[in-house]
Structure 1
Amino acid sequence: MKTLPVAVQVYSVRDDAEKDFRGTMKKIKEIGYDGVELAGLYGKEPSEIKAAIEEAGLVAVSAHVPFQELVADMEGTIQKYVEIGVKFIAIPYLMEEDRPGTPKFEGNVKLFEEIARACKAHGIQTLYHNHDFEFAKMPDGRYALDYIYDTIPADLLQTELDTCWVNVAGEDPAAYVRKYTNRAPVVHLKDFHKEGKPANMYQLIGTDVEEQESHGTFEFRPVGYGDQNFPSILEASIDANAQWVVVEQDQSIGRTPMEAITLSRQYLKEQGW
């Protein structure tokens, strides 16, 4: 059976990485991961980050780089990740004022293309990492997520489909991965359990949001321990010609983040990955 290399989003173990980046990289390798996706540099120089990843025997696959940082200093920000040697830079998240349905959104899509052109000039492929708010409908009925990919050429912007948020939005993650065949080089594997209609899911990813009345529960879980159908998602990732899958767990309940990413890796090994 064909499989893909498995990376982990360092945000999953951010407190460990903050305290001991080098040691955390070594643990990630010991657990059985092939690579990492960065989310911040923890006050370290790019050369230190690169050295720690290489010493651990990992690949620096990609990096989540805040949209605001890229807009504020495009060349300077990209250059840090050129030095680290990532293949992909992902636009990870939009603040409420930047999202679909706001006056800024269409201008932001133009900025995504500008970022993508700047990354391409340095040999880095730009990705867009979705949540569920990109599944808001545009005036013509298209999802905003599809609008982004329809508007920006595929050679400039490719997908990093977060399979958790695709599911939360009411779509089939495997079908969505296949929809972007040859444009989905990195697929995010994220599991969750949801009951009813919970509010404040974004508080769980570390985002400040206004308190709302909740009518259910939502929690992130290790891959294979929640509601997702991972055999179908993994098969779709192969069919779509993905290059990497990346485990991400924004918050861990009842176990340490390191224990959670260990369980995720063990589950994938049980699937033959």
Structure 2
Amino acid sequence: MLPIMLQLYNLRDELAVDFEGTLQKIAALGYRYVELAGLYGKSPKEFKAGLLTAGLTAVSAHVPYRDMLADPENVMDRYIEIGCKYIVIPYLIEADRCTSPNYEGVKKEIAKLGELAKKQGAILLYHNHEFEFQSYHGKYALDDLYDSIPADLLQTEIDTCWANIGGVDPGEYILKYRGRSPVVHLKDFYLPEGLSPENMYELIGQAKQAGPNAKGGFEFRAVGYGRQDIPAILKAAEEAGASWVVVEQDLPTPGKTPLECAKDSIDYLKGLQ
């Protein structure tokens, strides 16, 4: 089994209320590594100290693309100071996607960010959603992105839920980027047959009109409790040369807390060992 990270976005509300206590609870579940999504008002020194006290290590961080553009060196430095090896572009707003006339410029800016990350001893990754699986110049927009930027400047963080919803087999898609997939997002979900997932999820900083995890609709699930073939995804990740897998669940399973879901996920994964 590859080392397991927990994406702290899963517990964003809890961390905002009780930062140190929530980190302790995460460690008590058996997690030792985390992926960041914001600093919750803490300085890098304070954040790192909280992790150290809890016995946790930061490996990667989701950092908004436009935040990095505004002050790339200082923004990256904050996360590198905490110990993050990977800096991840988590999401592109509509104005920066392949449907925008700005997109070719966006790709050039991402390449520049990759160069800066490399210079600072980190690795830039891109975390997909489902919209990158639309056609762009005869291929998936996500493939175009990776074709346009060298692997030493941009590597993958394939989100297996959105890859599945985007229409590809997650394991096969991870293997497509063998040697370029150091971090893989394990994300499970439930989707009733015949129901479209469009506009049924929440993204960082953006709430969609139709809420996810509504009764009878799309639901994020703990890893191993949804429709994903997790053993096949893990096998593909190992064969592709991944170094880490990440437990991510944007919203808790109905009737459960985020912490309970985090426990369900790691218990399931440890049960596969």
TM-score by length of 1: 0.94
Tell me, yes or no, if the aligned pair for 1:204 and 1:251 is still in contact at 8 Å. no
Root-mean-square deviation over aligned CA pairs: 1.6
CA distance in 1, matches of 2:203, 2:114: 29
Q: 1:85 aligns with which of 83, 86, 92?
A: 83
How far is 1:198 from its partner?
Answer: 3.6
1:41 and 2:39 are equivalent in the alignment = yes
Alignment of 1:1-273 (within 5 A): 3-139=1-137, 141-195=138-192, 196-203=195-202, 207-209=206-208, 217-252=217-252, 253-272=254-273
Say if 1:236 and 1:167 are closer, same or farther in 2 by CA, change over 3 A: same
1:161 match: secondary structure: strand
Tell me, yes or no, if the aligned pair for 1:98 and 1:105 is still in contact at 8 Å. yes
Amino acid at match of 2:90: P
Tell me, yes or no, if the aligned pair for 1:135 and 1:145 is still in contact at 8 Å. yes
Query: How many residue pairs end up in the alignment?
Result: 267
Tell me, yes or no, if the aligned pair for 1:100 and 1:133 is still in contact at 8 Å. no
Farther-moved stretch of structure 1 (33-42 vs 98-107): 98-107
CA distance in 2, matches of 1:206, 1:67: 13
How far is 1:206 from its partner?
Answer: 5.6
How far is 1:199 from its partner?
Answer: 3.3
Amino acid at match of 1:35: Y
Say if 1:206 and 1:66 are closer, same or farther in 2 by CA, change over 3 A: closer
Say if 1:28 and 1:211 are closer, same or farther in 2 by CA, change over 3 A: closer
How far is 1:101 from its partner?
Answer: 1.5
Tell me, yes or no, if the aligned pair for 2:222 and 2:265 is still in contact at 8 Å. yes
How far is 1:128 from its partner?
Answer: 0.2
Amino acid at match of 1:267: Y
Amino acid at match of 1:125: I
Amino acid at match of 2:151: A
Identity of aligned residues (%): 53
* CA deviation vs aligned residue, 1:131-158 (integer Å, no higher than 9, x gap): 010111112x111101111111101110
How far is 1:22 from its partner?
Answer: 1.6
CA distance in 2, matches of 1:102, 1:218: 28
Unaligned runs of 5+ in 2: none
Amino acid at match of 1:114: K
Amino acid at match of 1:49: F
CA distance in 2, matches of 1:205, 1:86: 20
2:34 match: secondary structure: strand
Unaligned runs of 5+ in 1: none
Amino acid at match of 1:189: L
Tell me, yes or no, if the aligned pair for 1:60 and 1:85 is still in contact at 8 Å. yes
CA distance in 2, matches of 1:226, 1:44: 34
Say if 1:204 and 1:47 are closer, same or farther in 2 by CA, change over 3 A: closer
TM-score by length of 2: 0.94
Say if 1:96 and 1:209 are closer, same or farther in 2 by CA, change over 3 A: farther
Tell me, yes or no, if the aligned pair for 1:186 and 1:245 is still in contact at 8 Å. yes
